[in-house]
Amino acid sequence: MSDIEIILFYKYVRVDQALLQELKRWQEDLGESLGLGGRVLLATEGINGTVCGTKDHISEFEAAIEAHSSNLFATDRRIDWKHSRVVSQEQSSVFPDFVVKIVTEIVATGISSPETRTSPGAQEPLDICSPSYPVGRHLSPLEFHHTLLEGPQDKLVVVDVRNQYEYDVGHFKGAVSPGMRHTAQWQQFVGNNLDSGCALRGKKVLLYCTGGIRCEKASAYLKASGCEDVSQLSGGIHRYLEEFGEHGLFQGKNFVFDKRMAAASSGPGRATADDHTVSGSGLGAAPVESCLSSPALAGSGGEHEAEDEGKSQRVAAVGECSVCGRQWSEHRGGALCCVCRTLVLVCARCWERPPAGAAFHCEAHGHLRGVYFYFLDGFSMEELRTQQEALQIMLAEEEGKGKGRRHQRRTLRNKLDHIAKRQKELEAGDAVVENPPVRRCRSCEKVWGVDCIGNCWGFWKETSPVF
């Protein structure tokens, strides 16, 4: 398996709309001819992809893109190719096929121009290819590392631009998590923390993400919103782990959007012993903890076996089980928030003995634990009334809080309608209380362990168990 590689790449460059279909057909033919698997996204703002294949075929793929007749990806605009080696037969099939899509954004952010967010009418997407929106200063892994250690701690804020479920399995020591379920919430985080909370304006802000692509728009939006000193980790966590490996300031694993789920550091890295130094003032005290919208998770205790780049190792868990709080950092298919269907951490013990209704809750919806259940089949009329009363109180507290809370109010109203419908069915004798209740998958709603084994969601989709 040593000659199988996975590459991550992206390039923001303006592409003519009329050229997209041609590029799509070309990519499809290229991927098929080389026997590749993966996902490639094309938009008028550029290209983004994750592709898997043999080392030789990956090299051919890269060369073909850089030599394309459109000259969009030529040497002077060279793509930063990030390579990972596959070490098992299971990893060699991280993608079941090769898919090329034309999309609005090469990474879904929903980030709009700051100038149009407060104006009436449709919001215009932030044009990352326009010189009007300069991105943050790109820092090499070494520069980023030294800034973490030597930067002015009272003025330094490190922000993770990824989603909460990515942060949960690994993050830089002391980094702020915006608590996002999707990148479109970045705008809300900036609005809430520009002059209050983290007070980003006037601070030295360091951003990072998986491979660098999300930081481009995130930093451009932050700068356009009034933050002047904004930098980002060039090449993202991927490049940092190549450079510093297990001796750096990144804790846990790097979440990836394929069947590997997460990748651990693979050794000491390339930097010298002096560069690995992590003592001193640094970020050990998590100086920005007071402004976290989602608290940083402890990194001690709890280990999982990780096999990356041919090396078996123990990786300390930095996350916590969303049910019992045990140290845990492994996501699994089917472990989704019952409210929003985002990934949540659930340890093996709580997965085998789940809470009532087999309902798990992400951090953003933790306040609904015990009163919000997606499946109501196993609850009696009395239990439904208890849920109803609690949700009605929550809804009353949400009323009058403005547009920013409209989604929360809608969620509560929809669940109250669901409970009322279930009560009518029970009263009319059109339904009975399941005893014991049948456990169902939150994603596909099929019977768990019979019709679904967690392979119906996202990159877990396949025909056999993956855990």
What was the pLDDT predicted at 288? Answer: 32
What was the pLDDT predicted at 296? Answer: 28
Token pair for 30: 């290229």
The strands making up 230-233's β-sheet, listed across from edge to edge, are 137-139, 230-233, 204-208, 156-160
Token pair for 362: 């992400």
- For the chain, what is the radius of gyration of the CA atoms? 23
What was the pLDDT predicted at 316? Answer: 76
Chain mean pLDDT for the chain: 83
Strand segments, DSSP code E, in 227-338 are 230-233, 250-252, 254-255, 262-263, 303-308, 311-316
Separation between Cα atoms, residue 220 and residue 212, nearest integer Å: 13
Nearest Cα neighbor of 445 from 376, 344, 345, 380 is 376
Residue 131, preceding bond cis, omega within 30 degrees? no
Beta bridge partners of residue 139, listed in sequence order: 233
Q: Please state, for a pLDDT cut of 70, what percent of the chain lies above it.
A: 80
What was the pLDDT predicted at 262? Answer: 58
Q: Rounded to the nearest 10 degrees, what angle do helices 20-33 and 55-66 cross at?
A: 160
What was the pLDDT predicted at 267? Answer: 55
What was the pLDDT predicted at 151? Answer: 80
> Distances from the Cα of 274 to the Cαs of 30, 147, 152, 161, 251, in angstroms?
44, 14, 20, 28, 19
Q: Is the pLDDT of residue 293 over 50?
A: no
Task: Tell how strand 250-252 and strand 303-308 pair up.
Answer: unpaired
pLDDT band at 387 (very low <50, low <70, confident <90, very high): very high
Q: Is the pTM of this model over 0.85?
A: no
303 CB-near residues (< 8 Å, 6+ apart): 314, 315, 316, 317
Cα 411 from chain centre: 22
The mean pLDDT value for 421-429 works out to 97
The mean pLDDT value for 197-203 works out to 92
Is residue 308 within 8 A of residue 294, CB to CB? The reply is no
The 10s digit of each residue's pLDDT in 51-91 is 999 999 999 999 999 888 677 765 455 788 999 876 555 54
Determine phi and psi for 87, rounding to 5 degrees: -120, 5
pLDDT band at 314 (very low <50, low <70, confident <90, very high): low
Is residue 261 within 8 A of residue 248, CB to CB? The reply is no
The mean pLDDT value for 441-462 works out to 82
Q: Rounded to the nearest 10 degrees, what angle do helices 186-193 and 213-224 cross at?
A: 40
The mean pLDDT value for 207-227 works out to 94
Is residue 85 within 8 A of residue 25, CB to CB? The reply is no
Kindly report which listed range (114-118, 193-197, 234-238, 456-460) carries the lowest average pLDDT score.
114-118
What was the pLDDT predicted at 259? Answer: 59
pLDDT band at 126 (very low <50, low <70, confident <90, very high): confident
Q: What is the DSSP letter of 146?
A: H
What was the pLDDT predicted at 2? Answer: 56
What was the pLDDT predicted at 226? Answer: 92
Q: Please state, for a pLDDT cut of 90, what percent of the chain lies above it.
A: 63
Catalytic residue among 209, 337, 350, 362: 209
Separation between Cα atoms, residue 282 and residue 230, nearest integer Å: 19
Active site residue 209: yes
Token pair for 128: 């990352």
What was the pLDDT predicted at 70? Answer: 72
The mean pLDDT value for 129-140 works out to 90
- Structural domains in the chain, sorted by start: 4-102 (3.30.70.100), 114-316 (3.40.250.10)
The 10s digit of each residue's pLDDT in 396-416 is 999 988 887 899 999 999 999
CA angle 426, 432, 437 (to 5 degrees): 125
What was the pLDDT predicted at 49? Answer: 94
In 3-state terms, what secondary structure has residue 33? helix
Q: Rounded to the nearest 10 degrees, what angle do helices 141-150 and 236-244 cross at?
A: 80
pLDDT band at 369 (very low <50, low <70, confident <90, very high): very high
End-to-end CA distance of the chain: 21
Sequence-distant contacts of 347-351: CB under 8 A, at least 24 apart: 347/321, 347/323, 349/321, 349/324, 350/321, 350/323, 350/324, 350/326
Cα atoms found within 13 Å of the Cα of residue 254, Cβ hemisphere only = 24
